[in-house]
Structure 1
């Protein structure tokens, strides 16, 4: 299934959909096997200590009510190791934050998700914001690109993905309204998701996942630093259909009507 998912990329299912959970099960079983082997080795150490007790030591044990622990080093070692392993197993969860680590994603902007959920199901959303990754899951709506999809499954897929994100960056920060409109028409964008600080120099500099997409990012940073105003920022007030929780959503049909 793993190989088939790669050959039929996104038509069958995401290639890592089942392997991720399979590895967790494999690691859990492997951990149990390792612990069993360790405990077995410890018991063997203890049994070895019992076998090497000499006849003279046995007589001492019979003659004295108590027997010094240092004369039974193997048994003592096995007890200590067993107690140590048991303590690690019992107290490990207390030492790890958010145990068990399920990697479940939580949506922190329900109002945004509800807004997109109320839009037509075939809506396509364009954005370079990190939160765009959660829209397909929590709003059941499609996005043009997202960080979670920037996995180079194979060269053909990643080449197309990279070209899309570069064109998106160029369109978002271009001062040319015609270039912006051409991008919207080319991909059939319905909504454009922005963050309140999307047009600041710090936004691009701190957005690590966008940095590899050069020279588009460098050019956008240079334009903003020089005070060149992106065409998209000029239509925010007129074309905004959502403005809450630090996010702004623009309707593409409104952008296309602008000059």
Structure 2
């Protein structure tokens, strides 16, 4: 069973808020009157609710509408994101959504080619995925012989030699490191020249997005299970605030504070 943290936050905010408000409106005055001028002690539930409600409420608002933290568990977005990166995701880039119900209430924008996005995996929405948007609604996206095509045009790639990884990323040592320019968004990708992968072409439907991992031959993405619906978008990844590589000796300090392109 998956842990629904947003639902827990909403429930905790509701419970502590109701207890605190009910006590302030009804029971606090009764306790004061019964005390006849002496000190009265708040019930433990009221004391805890009064203390925790503001904190829980602020966390709920920030997490639901401003930014949410995520941890990168796999190497599918190498070399842009590494295993052990802790990132922040902008929750209002693509519109404000109500927590738990996940209903969009305000339109603020839509993903662009090159955006690194977090979304709920269409095959199992309880799982969060992170990939790069390569195709927007109406685009004809093709992928052949390690080359990405958008509307029939090859996306420019430039070789940067052989990738040398360390820690959890050591398994990708020897892969081809390349620069890719996707509609002006410059980023690095990894490909394994001799490996086989899914190839083909698709026109991205309305309200859908075609996403791929930057580690092209080690990514479970739209090539295998289809496009991502707008309703499954969580937000745009924009910042690495921490890194802890369990296989690489701990914190990689040089990654902390990096923006995500």
TM-score (norm 1): 0.26
Question: Which structure exhibits the higher relative contact order, with contacts defined as CA atoms closer than 8 Å and separated by 6 or more residues?
Answer: 2
Which is richer in strand? 2
TM-score (norm 2): 0.26
